């Protein structure tokens, strides 16, 4: 095992020269030497921040079973280049517009073309459609892709030549590329500001088998802040903060061979209106667990908090909330054909207005919806089991301040099982085979379901904690293949008696405020709307 050192301004020309210390640039390799190198199993590469931000090219992993870690502070790999103040010039005939030559096509060498974007002191400027609009709007930009000129207006309308502020433009489309390498450990290295034109990469592109990624932040990307890419197999990512992606979800599981990966104990926040977590392209068996997933901006109809369009995934013990548009396809989760387990989640729809559904299942045979807390959905059915969802299993769930609970369409009544659920509907218990049903007793008679469910107050907190006198305590059911085998805990204590109704017997609350909703849907034409 050998330990090597890297700095953005390193001048070592071979890895043999790059054994440190980090205080000496001549004994640290730059990114280009790393990318062209070959390393042995168990080698360690210390990625220092002493030389500033890593730019010009992304980090491409050259070898298997190497550990990457920071020195003391997290270094940053950026997909943007600095546009020096002296490179800008005042635009003739305009009051506050400055310009710089910028050819998007010339940025396509590594590895994709880029989209236009300008950052001022790490803050994104707003995009306009003409030079005149830029002149009228402080903190904005416009790119003329015919003349290959970028126009911008400083946020304080000062001279971009003289104000001393740092301006950045996109330079490439991926920060860290795992390059189909296996057994890597990647710790505490941040990534920002990629703007790929046609790629599905972004901050982190994780391929290969058995890689472990932890303790980092990735933000301001187009398309994805973090992606399990083609042939990512049994990789684990935890303690990740993913913030803001454009034209794509912040976290993505994408394409063939993307199987058995885990994304957990992380925060996924996207205010850019393009969704939070998305899977499509024939992946399977991935696990999304113990995350905070939210947005604080209105999403368009086609963007969801979670959208999964392939099969066999597990969504466990997450906290979801976010603002929703007041039209039909609200921020949601989309799950696909077969094998879905959706258990132990807290789903808050406080901001959802005039929505047709809270959670939409479609084309998902054999889905399991168990031990969830669903709260604050108005004017909508919270769980919609639509076409193609035979053998749907919904047990041990709690509904709080929900207008209507279940909608089950005729094609999904076959094998439908619902029982041991608790809550008081604001309007009706559900809709069965096209018939709205208000009272629990009438629902039981029509559907032959929910014989042990109750419409009394569940006495549960917003954090999913049951009061000492809650009727949900020890009132659930063990269900073969769902929650049997001692897989439910209260705190750190395994349950051997009956489980509670509601989330998986844990405490804790979302760290943000607000709302969420989910859409759960199978493979269909047009399903790949975010990838």
Please report the pLDDT score of residue 27 as a whole number.
98
Please report the pLDDT score of residue 227 as a whole number.
93
Q: Kindly state the average pLDDT of the residues 522-526.
A: 25
Question: What percentage of the chain has pLDDT greater than the value 90?
Answer: 53
What residues are paired with 23 via a beta bridge? none
Q: Are 272 and 299 in contact (CB under 8 A)?
A: no
Pairing of strands 341-343, 59-60: unpaired
Cα(first)–Cα(last) distance of the chain, in Å? 39
Please report the pLDDT score of residue 306 as a whole number.
81
Q: Is 480 exposed, middle or buried (0-12, 13-18, 19+ CB in 10 A)?
A: exposed
276: nearest Cα among 268, 288, 286, 287: 268
Under the banding of pLDDT at 50, 70 and 90, the label for residue 199 is low
Two structure tokens written together for 484: 């049997």
What pLDDT digit, counting tens, does each position of 91-143 carry? 999 999 999 998 876 654 434 445 778 999 999 999 999 999 999 999 999 99
Q: Kindly state the average pLDDT of the residues 500-518.
A: 48
Residue 53 has pLDDT above 80, yes or no: yes
530 or 395, which is more confident?
395
Residue 179 C-alpha from the chain's centroid? 21
Please report the pLDDT score of residue 355 as a whole number.
54
Tallying the residues shown for the chain, one arrives at: 531
What pLDDT digit, counting tens, does each position of 15-30 carry? 999 999 999 999 999 9
Helix (H, G, I), strand (E, B) or coil at 375: strand
Of 86-90, 218-222, 286-290, 360-364, the one with minimum mean pLDDT is 360-364
CA atoms within 13 A on the CB side of 287: 16
Q: Kindly state the average pLDDT of the residues 55-68.
A: 93
Q: Kindly state the average pLDDT of the residues 260-266.
A: 96
- Domain coordinates of the chain in residue numbers? 1-77+182-274, 80-170, 295-531
Please report the pLDDT score of residue 207 as a whole number.
95
CA distance 184 to 67: 6
Please report the pLDDT score of residue 206 as a whole number.
96
Under the banding of pLDDT at 50, 70 and 90, the label for residue 479 is confident
Q: Is 92 exposed, middle or buried (0-12, 13-18, 19+ CB in 10 A)?
A: exposed
pTM score of the predicted model: 0.88
SS3 breakdown of the chain: % helix, strand, coil, rounded to 5?
Answer: 5, 35, 55
Two structure tokens written together for 225: 């802040």
CA distance 158 to 106: 29
Under the banding of pLDDT at 50, 70 and 90, the label for residue 483 is low
Of 16-30, 325-339, 486-500, the one with minimum mean pLDDT is 325-339
Q: Kindly state the average pLDDT of the residues 167-177.
A: 89
Under the banding of pLDDT at 50, 70 and 90, the label for residue 352 is low
Place of tokens 């207005």: 353
CA distance 54 to 75: 8
Under the banding of pLDDT at 50, 70 and 90, the label for residue 284 is confident
Residue 271 has pLDDT above 50, yes or no: yes
Please report the pLDDT score of residue 172 as a whole number.
78
Please report the pLDDT score of residue 338 as a whole number.
61
**What homologous superfamily does CATH list for 1-77+182-274?**
Single-stranded right-handed beta-helix, Pectin lyase-like (2.160.20.10)
* DSSP track, 133-182: HHHHSSSEEEEETTTTEEEEE-TT---TTTS---EEEE--S-SEE-TT--
């Amino acid at each position: 095992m050998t330990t090597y050192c890297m700095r953005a301004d390193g001048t070592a020309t071979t890895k043999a020269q790059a054994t440190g210390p980090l205080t000496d640039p001549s004994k640290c390799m730059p990114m280009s030497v790393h990318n062209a190198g070959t390393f042995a199993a168990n080698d360690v590469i210390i990625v220092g921040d002493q030389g500033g931000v890593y730019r010009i090219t992304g980090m491409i992993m050259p070898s298997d079973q190497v550990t990457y870690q920071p020195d003391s502070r997290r270094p940053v790999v950026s997909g943007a280049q600095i546009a020096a103040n002296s490179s800008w010039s005042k635009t003739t005939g305009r009051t506050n517009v400055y310009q710089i030559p910028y050819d998007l096509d010339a940025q396509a060498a590594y590895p994709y073309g880029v989209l236009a974007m300008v950052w001022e002191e790490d803050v994104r400027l707003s995009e306009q459609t003409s030079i005149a609009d830029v002149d009228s709007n402080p903190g904005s930009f416009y790119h003329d892709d015919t003349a290959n000129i970028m126009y911008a207006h400083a946020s304080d309308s000062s001279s971009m030549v003289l104000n001393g502020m740092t301006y950045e433009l996109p330079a490439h489309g991926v920060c860290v590329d795992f390059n189909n390498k296996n057994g890597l450990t990647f710790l505490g290295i941040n990534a920002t500001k990629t703007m790929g034109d046609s790629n599905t990469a972004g901050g982190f592109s994780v391929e290969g088998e058995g890689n472990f990624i932890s303790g980092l932040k990735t933000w301001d990307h187009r398309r994805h802040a973090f992606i399990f890419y083609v042939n990512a197999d049994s990789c684990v990512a935890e303690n990740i903060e993913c913030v803001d992606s454009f034209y794509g979800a912040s976290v993505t599981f994408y394409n063939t061979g993307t199987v058995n990966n885990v994304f957990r104990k992380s925060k996924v926040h996207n205010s850019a209106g393009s969704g939070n977590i998305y899977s499509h392209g024939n992946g399977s068996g991935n696990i999304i667990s113990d995350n905070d997933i939210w947005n604080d901006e209105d999403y368009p109809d086609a963007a969801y908090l979670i959208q999964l369009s392939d099969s066999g995934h597990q969504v466990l013990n997450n906290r979801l909330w976010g603002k929703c548009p007041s039209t039909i396809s609200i921020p949601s989760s989309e799950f696909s054909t077969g094998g879905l387990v959706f258990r132990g989640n807290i789903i808050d729809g406080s901001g959802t207005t005039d929505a047709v559904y809270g959670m939409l299942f479609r084309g998902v045979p054999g889905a399991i919806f168990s031990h969830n807390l669903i709260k604050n959905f108005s004017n909508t059915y919270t769980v919609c089991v639509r076409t193609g969802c035979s053998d749907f299993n919904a047990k041990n769930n709690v509904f709080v301040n929900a207008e209507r609970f279940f909608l089950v369409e005729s094609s999904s009544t076959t094998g439908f099982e619902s029982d041991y659920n608790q809550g008081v509907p604001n309007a009706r218990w559900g809709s069965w085979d096209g018939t709205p049903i208000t009272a629990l007793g009438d629902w039981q008679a029509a559907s032959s379901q929910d014989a042990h469910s109750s419409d009394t107050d569940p006495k549960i907190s917003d954090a999913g904690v049951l009061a000492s006198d809650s009727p949900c305590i020890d009132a659930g059911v063990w269900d073969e293949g769902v929650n049997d085998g001692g897989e439910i805990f209260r705190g750190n204590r395994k349950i051997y008696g009956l489980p509670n109704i509601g989330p998986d017997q844990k405490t804790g609350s979302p760290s943000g405020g607000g709302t969420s909703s989910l859409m759960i849907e199978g493979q269909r034409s047009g399903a790949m709307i975010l990838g």
